[in-house]
Amino acid sequence: MSKEKVYIFDTTLRDGEQVPGCQLNTIEKIEVALALEKLGVDIIEAGFPISSPGDFNSVVEISKAVSEPTICALTRAVEKDIEVAAEVLRYAKHPRIHTGIGVSPYHIKYKFNATPEEVIQRAVAAVKYAKRFVEDVEFYAEDAGRADNRFLAKIVEAVIGAGATVVNIPDTTGYCLPSEYGSKILFLKENVSNIDKAIISTHCHNDLGLATANSIAGVINGARQIECTINGIGERAGNTSLEEVVMVMKSHKGLNLETSINTKKIFPTSRLVSTLMRMPVQANKAIVGRNAFAHSSGIHQDGFLKNRETYEIINPKQVGISESSIVLTARSGRAALKHRLATLGYKLDQKQLDDVYAEFLNLADKKREIHNDDLEALMGKAARFDRKIQLESLQVICGKSAIPTATIRIKYEGQVWEGTETGNGPIDAAINAVKTIITAKTTLEELLIHTITRGSDDMGKVHVQVESKGKVFYGFSANTDVITATVEAYLDALSQIV
């Protein structure tokens, strides 16, 4: 059984651009339009040309730049709007005028102060007028989600009779439940006599978080066009997300529906739109969020490493993401740590893994996420587990009105020793405290502290150079506490001296 085509109508440049602070200039709009063309969208709604000179010019230039998709311009059911739309679309290879009117009781009574019959007359007149300029005319029944189904069927039948090739059934306020919206589409399929002469389109908003669900309910019940935006951007809570509906249909083969979208272009297109519109994609956004293919739970990581499909229903490569990520946190298990260390070239036996894992958890409790640089530092520290001098505890008192004082406990030759000393600062005090215990004649020649990760929970990497009897010894450590890291690096060098 062959799959049925669902047309993807992208309104990122019209409805999506209505987000406050996300306006694009003409050059940026052309860049997005070309990316949408490569993505494989069927229709690009390029703007509302009568609304501003900028929108007018953008639709003209997009019409010149894009060749494959249909270019659509939005209008009200007003002759001047339609004339302007026809003018800007004169360069489009596949032009479409998108005109319409509100059809819910709220719009008919409060917005237009009209009767239902007057609204039908205006709708029919607008479609007929648009038909003078282009063959492809789409009619939108604004707020159809809250419209009476019998009236909706009546106006849809009238506009198809007037020449509409597509009828758009918007859930403008995002009010419908999926069952309600699906039933509305099915009602039109069964009660509009000429419905076979037009494509039914969905246009769902996300005010209740149901835009994707409603759009899918619509196509299940007979709609064959979905109006959507990249990253789900749009008025208020946004529009239907292109990447979500496309991947729902691709993943659920039983729906027997397909699109022309090149899914491997989804992620790069998402990033382009996010960058140009200066609107970050939320981390947990389906398909394109940075956590969409990230695993941090130890149980999930273990299952994923054994078989990807235990916790992923989509291969990230399908949407243009190179690979899933194993995020190392305090919730990660040994399997994830071993896997990441192996990718860095470290092969550990079970005893070594247990030792490193204990250090890993100590570090992970201090940091939100462990990065490769952290692990490299951790492995450098782990290689020194057998040094002769071990730090047991360190307490430092310092501040604007306090004399920096350090109290240190170290384990040396099987005994625990304690020393307290002051200094010019907390690090100097800590080093002096060590010297009260380890009395070997040494000179601290060099102390280098590097931040190796970003954020307030940075991990500091410390290198020291210590001279003793004409020889130079080097010490190293890493810790989220640079004072502790400095003392450990100093003890690392002293272990070689004693």
Q: What residues form the annotated binding site for Mn(2+)?
A: 15, 203, 205, 239
- What is the residue type of 427? I
d(CA 241, CA 246) in angstroms, rounded, equals 9
Q: Find all residues with CB under 8 Å of 357, minimum gap 6, and list them.
A: 334, 337
pLDDT at 343: 78
Q: Which of 6, 12, 4 is nearest to 266 (CA)?
A: 12
Asked which of 136-145, 230-239, 277-286, 458-467 is least confident by mean pLDDT, the reply is: 458-467
Mean pLDDT across the chain: 92
- What is the residue type of 287? I
Specify the fold of 294-382.
Answer: Recoverin; domain 1 (1.10.238)
Q: Kindly state the percentage of the chain with pLDDT values over 70.
A: 96
Which of these CATH numbers, 3.20.20.70, 3.40.50.150, 2.60.40.10, 3.40.50.2030, describes 4-277? 3.20.20.70
Q: Compute the residue count for the chain.
A: 498
Asked which of 293-307, 318-332, 383-397 is least confident by mean pLDDT, the reply is: 383-397
Average confidence (pLDDT) over 210-239: 97
Q: Quick check: 444 pLDDT over 70?
A: yes
Residue 453 pLDDT grade (very low, low, confident, very high; cuts 50, 70, 90): low
Q: Quick check: 384 pLDDT over 60?
A: no
Contact in structure between 46 and 60 (CB atoms under 8 Å):
no
Residue at token pair 């004339």 = 83
Residue 383 pLDDT grade (very low, low, confident, very high; cuts 50, 70, 90): low
pLDDT at 162: 98
Q: Which two tokens stand for residue 342?
A: 């192996």
Q: Which two tokens stand for residue 203?
A: 């246009």
Asked which of 118-122, 227-231, 286-290, 464-468 is least confident by mean pLDDT, the reply is: 464-468
Q: Quick check: 201 pLDDT over 60?
A: yes
Q: What residues form the annotated binding site?
A: 15, 203, 205, 239
Q: Is 188 helix (H, G, I), strand (E, B) or coil?
A: helix
Q: Which of 474, 468, 491, 479 is nearest to 388 (CA)?
A: 491
CATH architecture of 390-495: 2-Layer Sandwich (3.30)
- What is the residue type of 214? N
Q: Quick check: 299 pLDDT over 90?
A: no
For 54-192, strand residue ranges (E) read 70-74, 95-102, 137-142, 166-171
pLDDT at 489: 87
Q: Quick check: 119 pLDDT over 80?
A: yes
Q: Quick check: 443 pLDDT over 70?
A: yes
Residue at token pair 């849809």 = 156
- What is the residue type of 292? A
Average confidence (pLDDT) over 337-346: 85
d(CA 357, CA 347) in angstroms, rounded, equals 14
Q: Quick check: 381 pLDDT over 70?
A: no
Q: What is the pTM of this model?
A: 0.77
* Counts for the chain of helices (H) and strands (E), in that order: 16, 18
Average confidence (pLDDT) over 394-415: 91
The predicted-structure confidence for 51-108, as pLDDT tens digits, reads as follows 999 999 999 999 999 999 999 999 999 999 999 999 999 999 999 999 999 999 999 9
Q: Where are the domains of the chain?
A: 4-277, 294-382, 390-495
